[in-house]
Amino acid sequence: MENEFESNNVINTGNIIFAKTFQWMFMGLLITGLISWFVYSSGLYNDILQGGMFNVLLIAELAVVLILSFVINKCSPTIAAIMFFAYAIMNGITFSVIFAVFQLTSIVILFFAAAAIFGIMALYGYRTDKDLSIFAPLFLTTIIIGIVVSLINLAVGNSLVDIVVSWVMLLAFSGVTAYDVQKIKNLSENSSMDQSKIHIYGALQLYLDFINIFLRLLSIFGRRK
């Protein structure tokens, strides 16, 4: 009886953490979307591009993600939350260029397409009994190779390579979404990490997964202005 009570308590705690994780992810995406539209509609994105701030923001975003990933066990929940929303705001500023490059209708349609892919893979990751961690090295290797090839192709400018890389990265991040959901589920049920910060860590991971799925769909199917 006692074991059954403890098991139910763990499940309830895990469900609460899961709900908070997706709430925080949604808030991060909402902030990013609102900031990006404001920066674009106000014309500030031109100043950012011309003033060289775009590259500074990209470096700052990478720094925030790395710092938060490494220190989340040591920092307070408040600091972790501030860093998460700071990243969402900076991402919103850099994402403003999307509205200048792609048609609004295309952006909206592909956003919902990304949400559908994300939702399907997240559900699979939550429901499956298969240990998806065995695929983690494959996903990581694929993403690293994809990034390297993309950087090289910036100089080459081969459109076919760009499309192939985008498809491969789309598949990789779809798989990573399922893996991350399963990992968050396991962390919420049995983890040494502070329970008050698991949802922040999880929200960041899922936020990044969704953003990358969306960007890959844009690069493949997006209609440019």
pLDDT-based confidence at residue 8 (cuts at 50, 70, 90): very low
pLDDT greater than 50 at residue 212: yes
Which range has the top average pLDDT, 68-77, 162-171, 188-197?
A: 162-171
165-185 mean pLDDT: 93
**Model pLDDT for residues 43-52, shown as the tens digit of each residue:** 887 877 666 6
Number of domains in the chain: 1
12-32 mean pLDDT: 85
Domain that holds residue 202: 2-221
13 CB-contact burial (10 Å; exposed 0-12 / middle 13-18 / buried 19+) = middle
CA angle 154, 84, 11 (to 5 degrees): 115
Token digits of residue 217: 């769909």
Predicted pLDDT of residue 200: 86
DSSP 73-102: TTS-HHHHHHHHHHHHHHHHHHHHHHHHHB
- Per cent of the chain over pLDDT 90 is 40
Q: Is 61 helix (H, G, I), strand (E, B) or coil?
A: helix
Q: How far lies 19's CA from each of 53, 76, 150, 187, in Å?
A: 36, 21, 35, 14
CA distance 113 to 217: 8
- Residues 6+ positions from 152 with CB-CB distance below 8 Å: none
Predicted pLDDT of residue 14: 59
Predicted pLDDT of residue 3: 46
The DSSP code for 192 is S
Question: What integer best gives the mean pLDDT of the chain?
Answer: 83
48-72 mean pLDDT: 69
